[in-house]
Amino acid sequence: MRDLSLHLMDVIQNSIVALGTRIDVTIAAYSKSNELKISVADNGKGMDEEMVKKVTDPFITTRDTRKVGLGISLFKASAEMSEGHLGITSKKGVGTTIEAVFKINNIDRPPLGDVAGTFTGVLVSNENLHLTLTLSYDDEKYVFDTEEVKKVLNGVSINEYEVLNWIKGYINEGINVTFGGVLNEINS
């Protein structure tokens, strides 16, 4: 995949298929360790230990609509190509957390991509999903939470064009403020 937002889209979609109603995405950069960490945690149906061991195999999938599951294996490969790694923790009936780590200055690290577009795209077809995005760089933190937005909207649908447009701009502003000057692909 050409950027990290596409990996995020795939993992978020996996969480939705696993019946997750809350999905927490964290993108964090750390200057001392030169690391970019991306994690996606859900409250979906989870996996047993055996499936966790197999899930990075491209020929293993829990979906019955296809026979291959390339998403997690590609995410893992992207992390490993940039001196990082991917880890998965899951508990059946509780949920799953996937964390990928990348070296920020590695030439093979994919760019962040259109994270705001990914989030608004997910919201278009999943209005009732509780989705959070936490962006951080060292001690700086930015949080977007659909439940907070819904409270302010006071009954207006989060899928209204104007609302989605505002969400996209708000997340892009958070990315620029948090990662501008940190990730070379972000123009602050």
pLDDT in tens, 139-177: 889 999 999 999 999 999 999 999 999 999 999 999 999
Q: Which two tokens stand for residue 88?
A: 């998965």
Please report which confidence band the pLDDT of residue 40 belongs to, taking 50, 70 and 90 as the band edges: very high
- Kindly state the average pLDDT of the residues 128-145: 95
Side chain identity at 73, as an amino acid letter? Answer: S
SS (H, E, C) the chain: CCCHHHHHHHHHHHHHHCCCCEEEEEEEEECCCCEEEEEEEECCCCCCHHHHHHCCCCCCCCCCCCCCCHHHHHHHHHHHHCCCEEEEEEECCCEEEEEEEEECCCCCCCCCCCHHHHHHHHHHHCCCCEEEEEEEECCEEEEEEHHHHHHHHCCCCCCCHHHHHHHHHHHHHHHHHHHECCECCCCC
The answer to whether 137 and 29 are in contact (CB under 8 A) is yes
Model's pTM, two decimal places? 0.92
Angle between helices 161-179 and 146-153 (to 10 degrees): 140
Question: Residues with Cβ < 8 Å from 63, sequence gap 6 or more?
Answer: 17, 69
pLDDT of residue 56: 75
Q: Could you give all domains of the chain from N- to C-terminal order, each with its CATH number?
A: 4-179 (3.30.565.10)
pLDDT of residue 51: 85
The per-residue pLDDT for range 9-26, each reduced to its tens digit, is: 999 999 999 999 999 999
Q: Which has the minimum average pLDDT: 30-34, 173-177, 181-185? A: 181-185
pLDDT score of 68 more than 80 = no
